[in-house]
């Protein structure tokens, strides 16, 4: 297996000076309030840690390691002062591709210094861990070791803006390993325009899976979709930091890309690109800012707050293109972690009722103040909705084995091959939530 960073064809080339930080405005990020420092591990292609818009104080420092050629803490890594290079196996995670520096800038570039861009939060230290080489490729073993390193050395948030078609054992292991240890993993959904369930590691679950939205706040056409999608964040026409002497869209053979056209700024220290790779670190930064200001929250509550406070976009309720919606940091900072309503349809599978063919609907129907739930269907997108089943409260069982919400007789679906299903969950004192599912019958 290889991993490649998740970026796509550049679609828009507008002057950055005229655009400002539109992605921060779209996220309702505002000025970050002071809080405790959160360590964010960026597992990527490394970092240009000499970039003038990266404050050295924002780079994680290993508290017990000194530069003496010895493994002072006995962790197996000699002189790992600021992280590790899992490609060249040394203590210099320098970015020769540029992707990791771009990702890091969105999280932690120095604010209000008139040099480049503003990162979303001040309350972080970045742990740069290099697993992608100068061509954008990596391997599962390096990724697994980097995740272990990040967790063992105090990272609270891990950003993974990388992936590949297909899931493997490492993908499933790493998100579960982090979740069991209370560490939040944020993963780019991928840019293949396909179901994220077939894309690793984003399809493995146990993480915040982030798709990309465009400048209108809508689903970006290239962004992967599916029931595993958590949120969307700005991913198109994004400007961030450029590692010196890099042009990663050229190296990664982005279709239609002209050499050097992504390089921005008078000194060439900025870069413009599109992709879910850049939506994910904005969510990772938002999670870090939220955790910084609300340190009593745990990993699960951070996920719940970010999802429940998202602005609904695209189809009403949870949908496969935008998940719970577009991230809204200001709303998340005020949200009650104990108040939630969940409606999600994960999949539909063939089954039988009294020997007759039927369709089983799997997903989640849950609320902190559950009142009731039902499933409706309609032909195509034009017919009226018709209620066909009531649903008991069905909390999240596991990402790998969602609960069966209902079994619907196949006779309900006669007369058409295209159907829509809608799950409605009602709560006492909370807004109703819904989830859409498009069904194509053979």
Same domain, 315 and 353: no
- Domain of 400 in residue numbering reads as 341-440
Q: What is the pLDDT of residues 213-248, one digit of tens each?
A: 998 889 999 999 999 999 999 999 999 999 999 999
Percent of the chain scored above 90 by pLDDT?
83
Q: What is the pLDDT of residues 18-47, one digit of tens each?
A: 345 899 999 999 899 999 999 999 999 999
| 313, 334, 355 - which closes a domain | 334
Same domain, 294 and 350: no
The CATH number covering residue 356 comes to 2.60.40
Task: Provide the domain count of the chain.
Answer: 2
Model pTM score: 0.93
Q: Residue 225: beta bridge partners?
A: 195
Q: What is the pLDDT of residues 79-123, one digit of tens each?
A: 999 999 999 999 999 999 999 999 999 999 999 888 889 999 999
More confident residue, 438 or 279: 279
44 is catalytic: yes
Q: How confident is the model at residue 7 (pLDDT cuts 50, 70, 90)?
A: low
* Residue in 161, 277, 292, 367 annotated catalytic: 277
Instruction: Give the model's pLDDT for residue 380.
Output: 84
DSSP 17-73: HHH-SHHHHHTT--SPPP---EEEEEEES-B-TT-TTS-GGGB---TT--SSSS-TT
Instruction: Give the model's pLDDT for residue 336.
Output: 94
Same domain, 92 and 239: yes
What is d(CA 284, CA 286) in angstroms, rounded to the nearest whole number? Answer: 5
Q: Is the pLDDT of residue 3 over 80?
A: no
* Residue in 99, 213, 219, 319 annotated catalytic: 99
Lowest mean pLDDT among 182-191, 367-376, 377-386, 394-403: 394-403
3-state SS assignment for residue 279: helix
Same domain, 133 and 200: yes
Same domain, 303 and 358: no
Same domain, 101 and 189: yes
Q: What is the pLDDT of residues 137-171, one digit of tens each?
A: 999 999 999 999 999 999 999 999 999 999 999 99
Same domain, 219 and 358: no
Instruction: Give the model's pLDDT for residue 333.
Output: 97
Q: Is the pLDDT of residue 5 over 80?
A: no
Instruction: Give the model's pLDDT for residue 114.
Output: 82
Same domain, 395 and 287: no
| 334, 363, 379 - which closes a domain | 334
Q: Residue 375: beta bridge partners?
A: 389, 423
- CB of 123 within 8 A of CB of 32? yes
Q: Is the pLDDT of residue 12 over 70?
A: no
Same domain, 264 and 391: no
Same domain, 181 and 207: yes
51 is catalytic: no
Same domain, 53 and 151: yes
Same domain, 329 and 346: no
Q: Is the pLDDT of residue 174 over 90?
A: yes
99 is catalytic: yes
| 308, 334, 360 - which closes a domain | 334
- CB of 87 within 8 A of CB of 142? yes
The CATH number covering residue 142 comes to 3.40.50.200
């Amino acid at each position: 297996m290889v991993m490649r960073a998740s970026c796509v064809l550049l679609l828009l080339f507008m002057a950055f000076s005229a655009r400002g930080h539109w992605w921060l405005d779209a996220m309702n990020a505002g000025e970050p309030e002071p809080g405790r420092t959160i360590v964010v591990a960026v597992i990527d292609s490394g970092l240009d840690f000499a970039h003038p818009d990266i404050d050295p104080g924002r780079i994680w420092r290993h508290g017990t390691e000194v530069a003496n050629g010895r493994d002072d803490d006995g962790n197996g890594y000699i002189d790992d002062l600021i992280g590790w290079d899992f490609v060249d196996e040394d203590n210099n995670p320098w970015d020769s591709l540029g992707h990791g520096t771009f990702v890091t800038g969105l999280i932690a570039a120095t604010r209000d210094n008139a040099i480049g861009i503003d990162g979303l939060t001040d309350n972080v230290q970045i742990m740069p861990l290099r697993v992608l080489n100068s061509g954008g490729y990596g391997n599962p073993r390096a990724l697994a070791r980097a995740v272990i390193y990040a967790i063992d050395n105090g990272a609270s948030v891990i950003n993974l803006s990388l992936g590949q078609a297909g899931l493997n054992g490492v993908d499933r292991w790493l998100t579960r390993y982090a979740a069991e240890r209370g560490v939040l993993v944020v993963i780019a959904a991928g840019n293949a325009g396909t179901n994220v369930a077939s894309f690793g590691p984003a399809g493995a679950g146990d993480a915040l899976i982030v798709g990309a939205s465009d400048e209108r706040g809508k689903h970006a056409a290239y962004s992967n979709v599916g029931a595993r999608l958590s949120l969307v964040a700005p991913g198109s026409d994004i400007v961030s930091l450029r590692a010196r002497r890099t042009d990663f869209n050229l190296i990664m053979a982005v279709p239609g890309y002209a050499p050097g056209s992504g390089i921005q700024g008078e000194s060439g220290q900025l870069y413009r690109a599109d992709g879910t790779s850049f939506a994910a670190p904005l969510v990772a930064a938002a999670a870090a800012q939220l955790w910084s200001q609300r340190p009593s929250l745990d990993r699960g509550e951070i996920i719940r707050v970010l999802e429940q406070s998202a602005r609904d976009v695209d189809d009403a309720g949870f949908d496969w293109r935008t998940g719970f919606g577009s991230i809204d940091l200001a709303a998340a900072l005020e949200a009650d972690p104990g108040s939630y309503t969940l409606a999600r349809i994960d999949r539909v599978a063939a089954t039988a009722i009294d020997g007759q063919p039927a369709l089983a609907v799997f997903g989640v129907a849950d609320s902190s103040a559950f009142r009731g739930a039902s499933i409706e269907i309609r032909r195509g997108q034009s017919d009226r909705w018709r209620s066909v089943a009531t649903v008991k409260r069905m909390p999240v069982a596991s990402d790998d084995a969602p609960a069966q919400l209902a079994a619907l007789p196949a006779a309900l679906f006669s007369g058409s091959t295209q159907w829509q299903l809608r799950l409605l969950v009602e709560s006492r004192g909370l807004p109703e939530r819904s989830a859409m599912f498009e069904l194509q019958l053979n």
